[in-house]
Amino acid sequence: MRTLVRRDLWLTLGGSVIAIWTYALIAAGHYGFISLTAAATVQVAVAVVVGVLCLWWWASGPRSLLRDRVMVLVPAFLIAGPGILGLHDLGAGLVAVMLSGAVGISAAVALGLVHAARRRA
């Protein structure tokens, strides 16, 4: 159990640092330090990798602890904004709006899981 918690914390910390880095990438692209298209492409690619990794790590854990391991999904929600903004910068207007709604609903569900897990204890 200790090893699982330690790995969850490392994933959460690492994914959060990468998510914060993508916010700096947004600023660099919009202020002209790097190409906006290149920044948007990197944002989308990194968002997909971090999001899939976090979701896979959360789902592959013990089934009985899924409600208690929601913190692993935090980096996925942190990096969703830069990923959606990157899609918008690449020209995917309607797709970006749909994904934004999906991420918002998923975040609400995750918050509900956390709240339900805390009421149980």
pLDDT at 85 over 60: yes
Write down the pLDDT at residue 119: 63
Average pLDDT, the chain: 87
**Out of 50-64, 65-79, 92-106, which region has the weakest mean confidence (pLDDT)?**
92-106
Q: Which residue's entry shows tokens 């903004």?
A: 85
Sequential DSSP letters for 10-61? HHHHHHHHHHHHHHHHHHHHHTTSS-HHHHHHHHHHHHHHHHHHHHHHHHTS
Per domain, the residue ranges of the chain are 2-120
Q: What is the pLDDT of residues 9-45, one digit of tens each?
A: 999 999 999 999 999 999 999 999 999 999 999 999 9
- Residue closest to 20 by CA, chosen among 75, 71, 59: 75
Cα(49)–Cα(75) distance, rounded to whole angstroms? 11
